[in-house]
Each structure stands twice: as C-alpha cells, then as structure tokens.
Structure 1
C-alpha cells in the first residue's frame, strides 16, 4: 500500500488529494481557488475535519505551501513527515511530441516542460511550479508527471494535421495535441460503463476556467477542440477560443501590438473576462440574473460555441450515444447545461429541466426518458486517474 499525493495545478486553481493505493482510499483532499484574485478560497477535508477559509493566495507556490501545511498540521493533517508519501503525481498540461507516457521527473524533464511554456502559457508554468515546490518540501519523494496530451495520441492524422506547408509538421511538429486528456479519459470511461456500450459515440464537454470538447469513439479520442496550444475551440475564462487568425495579424500589423502582447490579450484578457470583466462564471451568472446584458450575451455566446462542436463531432462519428458535462462549470452550472441543450431535439438531445436543477456528487442523467442521447453529468476525477497511473509506475 502506498500514499500518493496528487497535485493538479490549473490556471487559477490548485487541487490536491492524498490517496492510498491500490485501495483508492482518499485520506485528504482540498482545493485552492481564485488564485491571484482579490479573495482566494481554500477548502480542505479529511474524515470529519473540514476547513474552509478566505485568504490571499497570490500565486501557485503560496497555494501549494498552504495545502502542504494542512496535510502535515498536528490538528488537520494525515501525515507526520515526508516519508509518509511514496510518490507525488503532477498533472502537466502540454507534453508536446516528447511525452506520451507517465514519467519520473528529473532535471531534463523539467527543462522540457519549461521549453513548452509558450504552447501552454497559463498551465505549464504553474505545473512546473507545483513540481519545484513539491521537490523543495518533499526532497526525497519521487515526483511523477502525467500529461494531459497523452489521451489524444489516438487522434487520426486527418484530424491532427493542419493545412499548412508539410515542413512545419515534419520539422517543427506543429499539430493538434489536445488537452484535458486525463479528465476526458476518466469521464468517458465512466460513461461507457454507465451506458454499458463499449462501442459508443460520446462527446465529453470539459468546462472549467479552461474548456474543451472531445469526440470519443469506442473509448478513444478521435478529435478535440483544443489544438497546438490550449487557446482554441470554446470560449474560456480568459482565453478567446476559436478566432480568425487575421485578427492576430491586425492586432500586430495595424494596431501596433507586439506578438507577445497579442498572445497576452488572447490568453489572459479575452474569453469571458474580455466580454464581461469577470472570468469566474459564478459572478457572470449572478450579474446576468440581475439583468446585465453583457453577461447574458456572454453566456449565450459560450453555449452557442459548444453547440457548434456538438454538431461537428456528431457528424464525424456518424451518430451520438451520450454527451458528458464535467469539470467545475459543467458539473455545477445548470444554466450553461440548459443553454447548450436548448433546441437540440433534432439531434436527439432532450434535457429534463427539473432534473437538471438537482445537484449531486454522483454520475447522473439529466435527459428526458424519451431522449435518444443520454445527457450525463459526471464529476471528473483527474486526481484518481493520476494516482492510478502513478501507482502502476512505481510498482
């Protein structure tokens, strides 16, 4: 039996979970939310112990140190010292063409993760920070990296390759890599078991501060909304998603922005933040309920983009058995689910609005009984998926 500490550093959050493997028993878990915003939130749970507080967490390093303090604290902790941890598993967003499997972190791996910063500017930096802080706090513990891009290695060449000169694919490996693979893999496997159909056609919709969709056919990823970097596809918290590339040239050539400034705009100043002034959907939904027109429009735009991808992925799979809503927004925003599923009866998608409003921590159907397509809300569990891969690695 081994204790595996999972560290999942997102763009504005840090999840952590201590899991005893192979029994999959969660000893403690928590999340630091709204990192870098005015008022950060910390939640921690271990058995009957529950901690919830607001504080200032300026960066991911501070967040991870606070999480570790809770794990080792006399009153709230579940471990006495570093030796109680067999391995620390880290979610790393972008593995480029170098990492398609779980690997032990060493100096070379960290350098390669850093070299991929430009492809995942909101995620690889905090991912690496998580590794470096964990090395500092747990110097004798094995650090293991699990890559979000790995699940998408089954995407066929016709979907993976861009219509640009071949040399950029052959010499520079410019292609669709895909992200959120740990989450999409976990929830799609859960869905396959739930509907009891291995040869299934599923669309996994991961909605958080970062958002993506995956077409999963027979358990394998065959297309994905994010691409070479994590800024394509859906409208996200601070990222634009799909945009005419001419806009980028206009920003640089006509408006005088540098390429770095244009990248900053599209990655950190766009999306829901650019449309409303807020990146947190909870704030946006509250303002929309109060009548804010910019927030109403932003929610409609968000759902509209998701609908387009549902139609596209149903087409390439020649049918659809289920759609999955997962991650923070997908699991908790009944409003987004309602807007996405509205007027989708032609595709066999019929939402039960009453059931949609009900909350649950378990997998659940929110479709009408007569709906041809199952509409599933499945809590993602990237940490458990990472723990499984880490435990297999250290055996």
Structure 2
C-alpha cells in the first residue's frame, strides 16, 4: 500500500511516500527552517529555496504538489498531543478534528499548524482516507507515580493535569529498532530524541515507564526554543515583578528560550561552529544542553535498576558526534565506554538505520538510530485499513 506520511514539527515538515508492504520509500522530501528567510525544500539531491517567511501550511502545499502524481492511497499525519482520549491510529473526520483542536493549548507550537496542514491536505487529496498518529500514545503506559504531578487530586481532575509525554512515535520506533538490532527483548533503554524538540524516555521491555516531557512539550531538556525544566517560582516572579501575562510567558517559554535564548540561534551546527571559535555563549549553551541530558540518563538508569542501551536519535542525536560524545562522558560508573573513532565516523542511512559506537567490553550499548516516524506511521495506517 502507498501511504503518504506527513510529519510536521515546530520548524520543519518531513514527508515520505512509503510502500508499506516492503518498507520502502518511493519518494522522500522535507522542508526546513519554516517561518524564516531561509526555508528550503530538500528532494533527493535537489535543494530549492522557498519564499521568505513561508508557514507550515504553505510548505505542505509545496509537498502535496510534488506527491499528487504519485497517487497515494492514504495519508497519515503526526499529531503531537492526543490528550487522554486519543491512544491509537485514528481515521480523521470533521468531528475528530474538532476534538483535536480542543487540545491546541497543550501543544501550541505543534497542534495548530499540524491541524492547518491537515485541512490543506484533505482539501488537496479529498478522495483518499486521512489518518492521525499521536505522539502521546506510546506514553499511555506510564505508571501513576511517573504520570501524576504532586498537586491536589481535585485540581488535577478539574483541569486534566497530568504528564503525557511526547515524541512517542519515534521513541517506540527506537525501541523496536534496538530490539531488532541487538536481537533481544526485555531491554532497559534510555532513548534520547534530540532535535529542535528534545526528550528522553525510559523504556523497559518495550513500554514507556518515564519520559522527560510532561503535560505539554515544555518540560524536560533544553530545546531549540524551549527552556525545558524551570523552577515554577521563576514564572511567578516574572508574572508579579516583570508584569508578563500568560501569552507573554507562553511566547517566552516556547519561542524565545532554550538554545535560541542562550546563543541567539537554535541551529546546533552553528552553535558548535561558534563554540569551536571561542564563543562563550555557545559554549555555555552546549554545556547546559548536555548537562540536562546526562541528568535524565542517570535518573532513568536508577529508575530502571540499570540500563542496557543508550540510544541517540533525531536531527542532533543522529548527526552531532560532539553531542553524542559529550552526553556519553562521565558515565563510566554505569559501564559506559565510548569508541571515539566509531562515533566520529558514524553515518546513518535508510539501508543502515542503526549504528553502534560503544567500545568493545562496554556493559552498555551506545547506539544511534535513524528516526523514522514516517515508516512507523505508514505501517500503522496500513494496518488500520487491513493491509
């Protein structure tokens, strides 16, 4: 079955037309730097500049125009927040879209533009089914002690406050890929999804048992434009003394913090280049970024009673040898031993989606795993249609 997977991030959209019977990509394109003056469409070896300031629906229009002649049989869309209700692959209609829209406040960087993209795609391809795959679904297995916040029960119930977790489609893909690569089930895996959005998940026996993001994608790691963990007292101080209202705090935390707030850019490649040239802001940004990741790795190893695999995935996790090396340092007490040469030479492809960079004798496997949310989404859609 030919399924078109559209994967909308906060500043990019990835897409692939996938033959689900064989797991092959028939076509693949992505757009990066959406909303900037340097948005680019990548199709194979071709790179095309898009109009300045193009938004995500506009980027989707560009992609759909290229895929229409390939006659996809279904389309599947990544939705970041599925709330309490949406825990499985779901066929989209107007009623379902209305329910998803009610969750926009929980993922303001992702759900609204993804919904806008869905509307464009349904209008462009109205005669084939459209499905949603939810990033929160994999984390529906979180135990209560990891899922709940220490707030009064009546407050939690009244406002629907709990931890949901995100990047679940890819964390689940990492768990399956690692188990297949090592030919072992029941592994204790710390999965590090490091992109513009970033999260760490503890996976035990294929199930998510804890994860760094919470009720919204704001909690956890230092990210491209998001602060991650912040003392709530800081927000109260900004509200009282800085006179920031809710919308201003939302903008600060979601769009002006993280790497961008520390270094003036959320492009890790640029940050690494400038840090190498002695830029102290960029050096600090990398140090804080790595420090937060290592804290979560250590915490989840303790929570699971040990760790068998630390896996790095997504844009930074797959491509930055520096970040993988720095995140693996000071973990010798856990039995981690890095093979520096393998780490530096590592390159993932569709044909070689998993690579090991731990040294011989390391008690913990260090792996890089190519993110493939599109394949996971496409296969789930084909299964929902009985293929």
Q: CA deviation at 1:11?
A: 0.2
Q: CA deviation at 1:170?
A: 2.7
1:59 corresponds to which of 55, 58, 77 = 55
Counterpart residue number, 1:365: 356
Task: Give ranges in structure 2 of 5+ residues lacking alignment.
Answer: none
Match of 2:64 in 1: 68
Deviates more, 1:6-15 or 1:116-125: 116-125
- State the distance in 1 between where 2:201 and 2:219 align: 13
SS of residue in 2 equivalent to 1:42: strand
Distance (Å, rounded) in 2 between the aligned partners of 1:130 and 1:351? 42
Counterpart secondary structure, 2:345: coil
Q: C-alpha displacement at 1:139, in angstroms?
A: 1.5
Q: Does 1:155 align with 2:142?
A: yes
Alpha-carbon separation, structure 1, partners of 2:67 and 2:379: 21
Task: Describe how 1:97-136 pairs up with structure 2 within 5 A.
Answer: 97-136=84-123
Contact 2:30-2:41 at 8 Å conserved across structures? yes
Q: Equivalent residue for 1:193?
A: 180
Residues 303-318 of structure 1 mapped to structure 2, 5 A cutoff: 303-318=290-305
Gaps of 5+ in 1: 73-77
Normalised by the size of structure 1, how large is the TM-score?
Answer: 0.94
Which deviates more from structure 2 when the two are superposed, residues 21-30 or residues 218-227? 21-30
User: Match for 1:386 among 347, 369, 377?
Assistant: 377
Runs of 4+ in structure 1 over 3 Å off? none
Supply the distance in 1 between the matched residues of 2:325 and 2:165 (Cα, whole angstroms).
26
SS in 1 for 2:3: strand
Matched, 1:350 2:327: no
Q: Secondary structure at the match of 1:356?
A: helix
Offset of 1:21 from its aligned partner?
2.4
Residues 1-395 of structure 1 correspond to what in structure 2 (within 5 A)?
Answer: 2-45=1-44, 50-56=45-51, 58-72=54-68, 79=70, 84-361=71-348, 362=352, 363-395=354-386
Measured in 1, the distance between the counterparts of 2:374 and 2:10 equals 16
Distance 1:342 1:103 in 2: 42
- The answer on whether the counterparts of 2:174 and 2:371 sit within 8 Å (CA) in structure 1 is yes
User: Deviation of residue 108 (structure 1)?
Assistant: 1.7
Q: Tell me the CA shift for residue 342 of structure 1.
A: 1.4
Give, in whole Å, the separation in 2 of the partners of 1:89 and 1:71. Answer: 14
Q: Distance in 2 between matches of 1:217 and 1:168?
A: 31
Q: Give the aligned CA root-mean-square deviation in angstroms.
A: 1.1
Q: What SS is found at the alignment partner of 2:108? A: coil
